[in-house]
Structure 1
Amino acid sequence: MDDTVRLNRTPLTDLNIALGGKMVNFAGYEMPVQFAPGVMKEHLHTRAKAGLFDVSHMGQVILRPRSGRVEDAALALERLVPVDVLGLKPGRQRYGLFTDEKGGILDDLMFANRGDHLFLVVNAACKAQDVAHLRAHLSDACEIEELTDRGLIALQGPAAESALAKLAPEAADMAFMDLRELSILGISCLVSRSGYSGEDGYEISVPGTHAEALAKALLENPDVQPIGLGARDSLRLEAGLCLYGNDIDRTTTPVAAALEWAVQKVRRTGGARAGGFPGADVVLPEFENGAPTRRVGLAPEGRAPIRGGADLYADEAATTPVGHVTSGGFGPTAEAPVAMGYVPTALATPGTRLWADVRGKRLPVAVATLPFVTPRYKRS
């Protein structure tokens, strides 16, 4: 890592270094890409037991309604996202998207109803622009507070419940997308049963001064190991989850990105709350007519991984690409190369054969159904 670049640190940076993390620049933060076991073993450990991830670089934001009514904060946020915020019950969390005037995706986020305010988690690389976006458009209805003094720990894997329940027994009662305030080691933490690995797990917002103590307590459990960004990426890719800046950005709409499920019916068909978000005149017709391109899974036919950026061709001899790969690598659980990318909607049917250009060589790939591994969220 270039010592001349001054990077931001998280409350867990010192611990990550002490644990032997290989530190890299990620979104302006000093973050561990892997630890001693390496990406493959870290990935498989998370699928088998539990991995602990430092995700404190993510942005945490509170929208506090000026009226005192959380419903008003929900309606305000609906001005910026094509998602049902008003219908979200207290103690529940939902995935959302900020869209622009052309229907492109500015960022994806998680938001939760805390009863008297909304709690948002946004991507690290986008958080400055997201906070500015919120303040520019919602300050009439909400006080916008960026929480800069908290850590965020993701605990993911089938042993996550038992590991956290040893410190906070109530965690075992939570279902996927529940959010509660729990006391852990006497520390008040905001805990959601969620994550970005395709596994059951939790994300824990903790005061920064207590983040290291909490991480160490979790790591005392032999089932829990520290995991770096490398395995976080391969886990989310196998789970068919988008990485902002790779798989979704301002050139992709929710429909093109195969994220129709994230736009609830109340926001897209009839009624007073349908539309009303940036780019609705572009996005809503795509629900009826489709988008010109579509995000798909891609299964290379050989053993060679196909990385993001590779062009895709309709046949081996074609000279004009029809699409491109956005994320790709080897899937340790799938035991095969896996990838995602965009192709014309006419070529998006699973089983369609395409060709990827890898350093001047054409390699066959098949359009595949996402995800590559079955999610194991605790639904009830």
Structure 2
Amino acid sequence: MTDNDDFEEQPPEKLPLDSWHRGHGARMVPFAGYEMPIQYEGIKAEHDWTRNHASLFDVSHMGQLAVSGENAAHELEKLLPASIANLPEGQMRYSLLLTEAGGIIDDLIVTNTGAHLALVVNGACKWDDIAHLREHLDDDVTLTHFDDFALLALQGPEAAAVLEGIVPGVGELSFMRAGLFKWNGHHLWVSRAGYTGEDGFEISIHQGHAAALADALVADDRVKLAGLGARDSLRLEAGLPLYGHDLTLDTDPVSAGLSFALAKSRRATGGYFGHAPSMARLEDGGVAQKRVGLALEGRLPAREGAKVYSGDALVGTVTSGGFSPTLGHPVAMAFVETEHAESGTELHLEVRDKRLPARVVPLPFVPHRYHRKGAL
């Protein structure tokens, strides 16, 4: 509610490549405050192409930020449970913005670019994240929002060969490594990472040159366009949580299966928001629920909000769910009571007034295929 009677919800913003997507047949939908392409050829076709070749996703709705200044690392370590001060140049690290109670404000990637510490945050949260950072970072640290840069994600087993063909040198990056490159005289910041479970890259480029780069990528027969629909089914198969669904302010890192984001080197010393409650949950195992993977029989998927039962007892709620094109059956992620979270536990999900059998299985549903350092 607002005391401004003239307040109206703002219409979705447009991506820098909005007209480019429409020209390529995209079906556009509102998402995270933007009009976003949900599909082109079709979600299943785009999903399967990503698993076998390479797909280009536009993720320019994400927030691209920089924290700079002599004390930038120290200041970020007040807000993130990651070890930032020892992050090598060119290295990326997954982390979390936490409340003082240990709830998750957002999950993000931080990268040491050498010149500054770069943050990529979720599109739906970026303005709240920026406000949180501005409130809690000291004045001698500068926060910059690169709102004039696009972000393209090239994902799939052929992504490296495609991108190396037009941006020589990117193939030397390994998973969670990043660097500055040039293409047609334009600077690109390229990160070997993504949100699909496949090998791939995220490419930050000034919005004025993004269409030309997208043209160059889709000119390769190994690359097709993919939208939000395939991105969601891919990340679900990869067991990757989505903020606003699997992660919220009421979710803590231990319950969410994200304890790895609580740096071991900082568990004793702390010094960041949410340290004490996070350590209490971690050390005592004191979480009422845990995020688990569920495999369903049949073909009817369980969606977010579906109730999870053990016998007649309600023991959890689905936070993400859908049909897995790769596995050929529905899968879901849910928070269930800890005593029912063991792999192999038989449960039931309520879908359309029916009780569907499901089994707790390890995450990810489909193995990750990241290009890790030293891997063949």
TM-score tier (shorter): over 0.9
Paired positions, count: 364
> 13, 25, 29: which one pairs with 1:8?
13
Matching residue's letter, 1:314: S
Matching residue's letter, 2:146: L
Q: Deviation of residue 326 (structure 1)?
A: 0.3
Superposed CA RMSD in Å reads 1.1
1:30 alignment partner, SS class:
strand
* Corresponding position of 2:127: 128
2:304 aligned with 1:308? yes
2:205 aligned with 1:206? yes
C-alpha separation in 2, matches of 1:101 and 1:5: 31
User: Does the Cα contact within 8 Å between 1:76 and 1:141 map onto a contact in 2?
Assistant: no
* Corresponding position of 1:354: 347
* Corresponding position of 1:97: 96
Q: How high is the TM-score relative to the length of structure 2?
A: 0.95
1:321 alignment partner, SS class:
strand
Matching residue's letter, 1:304: L
Q: How high is the TM-score relative to the length of structure 1?
A: 0.94
Report Cα offsets for 1:194-230 as digits up to 9, x if no partner.
0000000000000010001000100000000110000
Report Cα offsets for 1:134-178 as digits up to 9, x if no partner.
111113341001111000000000010011001111011110111
User: Does the Cα contact within 8 Å between 2:156 and 2:200 map onto a contact in 1?
Assistant: yes
Matching residue's letter, 1:9: K
C-alpha separation in 1, matches of 2:50 and 2:138: 41
2:260 aligned with 1:278? no
* Corresponding position of 1:38: 42
Q: Deviation of residue 5 (structure 1)?
A: 6.6
The 5 Å alignment of 1:187-336 reads: 187-268=186-267, 270=268, 274-290=269-285, 291-315=287-311, 318=312, 320-336=313-329
User: Does the Cα contact within 8 Å between 2:67 and 2:144 map onto a contact in 1?
Assistant: yes
2:55 aligned with 1:51? yes
Matching residue's letter, 2:358: V
Matching residue's letter, 2:16: P
1:11 alignment partner, SS class:
coil
2:14 alignment partner, SS class:
coil
> 319, 339, 355: which one pairs with 2:332?
339
> 21, 29, 46: which one pairs with 2:26?
21
User: Does the Cα contact within 8 Å between 2:218 and 2:225 map onto a contact in 1?
Assistant: yes
Matching residue's letter, 2:18: T
* Corresponding position of 1:107: 106
C-alpha separation in 1, matches of 2:258 and 2:169: 32
2:169 alignment partner, SS class:
helix
Give the gaps of 5 or more residues in structure 1. Answer: none
C-alpha separation in 1, matches of 2:283 and 2:150: 42
2:166 alignment partner, SS class:
coil
Report Cα offsets for 1:296-319 as digits up to 9, x if no partner.
00111222111111011111xx1x
Shift in alpha-carbon separation, 1:5–1:119, aligned structure 2, 3 A: closer
User: Does the Cα contact within 8 Å between 1:167 and 1:185 map onto a contact in 2?
Assistant: no
> 346, 355, 363: which one pairs with 1:370?
363
Report Cα offsets for 1:16-55 as digits up to 9, x if no partner.
10000000000110100000x2000100000000010000
User: Does the Cα contact within 8 Å between 2:47 and 2:234 map onto a contact in 1?
Assistant: yes
* Corresponding position of 1:167: 166
Query: Once structures 1 and 2 are overlaid, which stretch shifts more, 146-155 or 82-91?
Result: 82-91
Matching residue's letter, 1:95: Y
1:288 alignment partner, SS class:
helix
Query: Once structures 1 and 2 are overlaid, which stretch shifts more, 293-302 or 199-208?
Result: 293-302
User: Does the Cα contact within 8 Å between 2:75 and 2:138 map onto a contact in 1?
Assistant: no
2:314 alignment partner, SS class:
coil
Q: Identity rate of aligned residues, in percent?
A: 49
Structure 1 segments (4+ residues) deviating >4 Å: none
Query: Once structures 1 and 2 are overlaid, which stretch shifts more, 215-224 or 276-285?
Result: 276-285
Give the gaps of 5 or more residues in structure 2. Answer: 1-8
* Corresponding position of 2:144: 145
User: Does the Cα contact within 8 Å between 2:16 and 2:207 map onto a contact in 1?
Assistant: yes
C-alpha separation in 1, matches of 2:372 and 2:355: 42
C-alpha separation in 2, matches of 1:306 and 1:7: 29
User: Does the Cα contact within 8 Å between 1:257 and 1:294 map onto a contact in 2?
Assistant: yes
Q: Deviation of residue 331 (structure 1)?
A: 0.8
1:234 alignment partner, SS class:
helix
2:181 alignment partner, SS class:
strand
Matching residue's letter, 2:54: A
